[in-house]
Amino acid sequence: MYAITLKQGAGSVAVVLVCHCKEVGNGVALAVRVDSIEELAEFSEMADAYFGTGGLVREESLERLIVMPPLRVAAQACIFLADQVAADRHPWQPPAGTFKAGIKQAIQTLPPAALWIARYRAPFPEPRAVLLELEPRPRRREKAVAPMVTPTAEVGIEAPVVCYAAFPEPLIWFGPPAYPTPREKILRRPWLLTRTQRLLHRARVADIETIVYSNGLIVAVTDDRPRARSIINQVFGVLTRSAMPLLALPDFELIELKDFNAKSGEIRGSHSVVTPRNRLLDMRPRDGEPHISFSLPEDTVPPLLDLADRCARDHDQAAASLRLLSALTLFNRQFWTEAFVTAWTLIETSIERDFEAFWLQRGRSKTAIGEMDWKVSEQIDLLIAVGKLDPTLGKQIHSLRKRRNAIVHKLAEATRQEVIRCMEVASAMTPLPEFPEPLGPQRVFL
């Protein structure tokens, strides 16, 4: 049995955790008393060692695929106490000399345990023996400041005056995620870029040096802003086509790296808007919502950049890749009609490309083909007739074409299922570089 108590104004708040350990007899109690949230944060990282509960962990819900390692019991108690204090804007002050267990919450551990939150005022009532018998002051530890990036070997690339970067949305960790410590959780301090981020791989994507870091950050080493955005979106497009759906990167969410060492990959200064994609300084949950991200193995990165390079070097594939990513982004944002029309442009482009190839094989010039006044419906029928388009697929395209006309000419609205069918056909008619097998990312709950 152990307890943690924190002074709060004239009163105090305590967490009392009862652990039934076979090595410790009943009635043996340990207690720690701290005077501030800062002291509690410092103590949280040594709490389980002090109380001897290092072998006990919380059992997370099996309904969630949680990558984050489960917290130890004492560290979790410290975090829970800090959350209670932070949420209590109007401290409850019971009559002096009373004790009340206001909140009772079961913590699943092996062996079983129970957790109580208690509020009281001096003179301390029972269990004063538990809370005050032992009052060791936790030792303060010197704060260590980690560099933002672990420098890598120089490769002879001159740093530009400025270059651009972005995180994927949702966030992807390449390798083990940088989980927040109990101390960071209690103090509610930013932790994404205060931790070391490792440079994993660098390669050229369409002749632009592209760097990928362990925390998902992708840097395009060029001062050409539109070009940098296109390169980064090509990387996102490969992941999206390989069962890791991401949102397209808009221009305003680009991170401007003002002081970037292209030789070592060290980031000394940056500027961007703060959005769910670019939580540069704060990865804490918003409004009580957990932050969900994903994790992929580090060895995913080299083939990822290679596939992006192959796509970016082909003009038609590069354009189609960005258009498909835009359609999927609109779909994920639930803009059904806009997503439908965007995906349809890929289908119509594919039809026109095959139509042109058919006539080029018969000796017609591109100029002559361009002067042909064939409607899209007629082009579809021709390709079906000459065996260049599967009749079943052609029937689906005709159905989608009619829906597109209703949207464009009669201001009709597309449904979610119509968008899904349209994007499936668009993807099938627009072969693009992707991983041979779905990536199967692991969900990360922070």
| pLDDT single digits (tens) 63-111 | 444 455 667 778 878 887 787 777 665 444 443 433 344 344 433 333 4
Residues 286-303 have a mean pLDDT of 77
Beta strand extents in 169-286 (DSSP E only): 172-174, 197-205, 208-213, 218-220, 255-261, 266-271
Task: Report how far residue 255's alpha carbon sits from residue 229's, in angstroms, rounded to the nearest whole number.
Answer: 10
What length does the chain have?
446
Average the pLDDT over 253-266 and give the result. Answer: 87
The helix (run of H) or strand (run of E) holding residue 303 is helix 301-312
Residue 60 three-state SS: coil
Task: Look up residue 223 and give its amino acid.
Answer: D
pLDDT of residue 39: 86
Phi, psi of 149 (to 5 degrees): -140, 135
| Calpha distance 247→211 (Å, rounded) | 19
As given in the structure block, the two tokens for residue 429 are 């008619």
Residue 188's CB is within 10 A of a number of other CB atoms, namely 15
Higher pLDDT, 167 or 148: 167
In angstroms, rounded to a whole number, what is the distance separating the alpha carbons of residues 136 and 46? 13
Amino acid at 334: Q
The residue with greater pLDDT, 261 or 288, is 261
More confident residue, 262 or 317: 317
By mean pLDDT, which of 172-181, 363-372, 415-424 is the weakest?
Answer: 172-181
Q: How far apart are CA 246 and CA 273, in angstroms?
A: 19
3-state helix/strand/coil string of 85-113:
HHHCCCCCCCCCCCCEEEEEEEECCCCCE
More confident residue, 101 or 325: 325
Other beta carbons within 10 angstroms of residue 130's beta carbon come to 20
Confidence at residue 104, expressed as pLDDT on a 0 to 100 scale: 40
Average confidence (pLDDT) over 18-44: 71
Quote the pLDDT of residue 262.
83
Q: Rounded distance, CA 145 to CA 314, Å? A: 44
Query: Contact at 8 Å (CB) between 240 and 183?
Result: no
The whole-number pLDDT of residue 56 equals 67
Computed on alpha carbons and rounded to an integer, the radius of gyration of the chain in Å comes to 29
What is the average pLDDT across 151-161? 48
Does the pLDDT at position 19 exceed 70? no
Separation CA 3–CA 80 (nearest Å): 13
Say if residues 218 and 235 touch (Cβ distance below 8 Å).
Answer: yes
State the burial class of residue 46 (Cβ atoms within 10 Å of its Cβ: 0-12, 13-18, 19+). middle
Record the pTM: 0.70
Cβ–Cβ < 8 Å for 443, 64 = yes
What three-state secondary structure class fits 122? coil
Exposure pattern of 69-93 as b/e (b: 16+ CB <10 Å)? eebbbbbbbbbbbbebbeeeeeeee
Burial class (CB in 10 A: 0-12, 13-18, 19+), 438: exposed
Which backbone phi and psi does 160 adopt, to 5 degrees? -75, 170
Q: Name the nearest CA neighbour of 165 among 262, 253, 269, 254.
A: 254
The model's pLDDT over 28-39, given as tens digits with 9 standing for 90+, comes to: 667 777 778 888
Q: SS3 breakdown of the chain: % helix, strand, coil, rounded to 5?
A: 35, 20, 40
Residue 156, pLDDT above cutoff 50: no
Q: What separation in angstroms does the CA of 372 have from each of 121, 331, 346, 386, 446?
A: 89, 34, 21, 18, 58
How far apart, in whole angstroms, are the C-alpha atoms of residue 47 and residue 52?
8
What's the rounded Cα separation, in Å, for the pair 189 and 180? 9
Check residue 123 and give its pLDDT.
Answer: 43
Mean pLDDT across the chain = 77
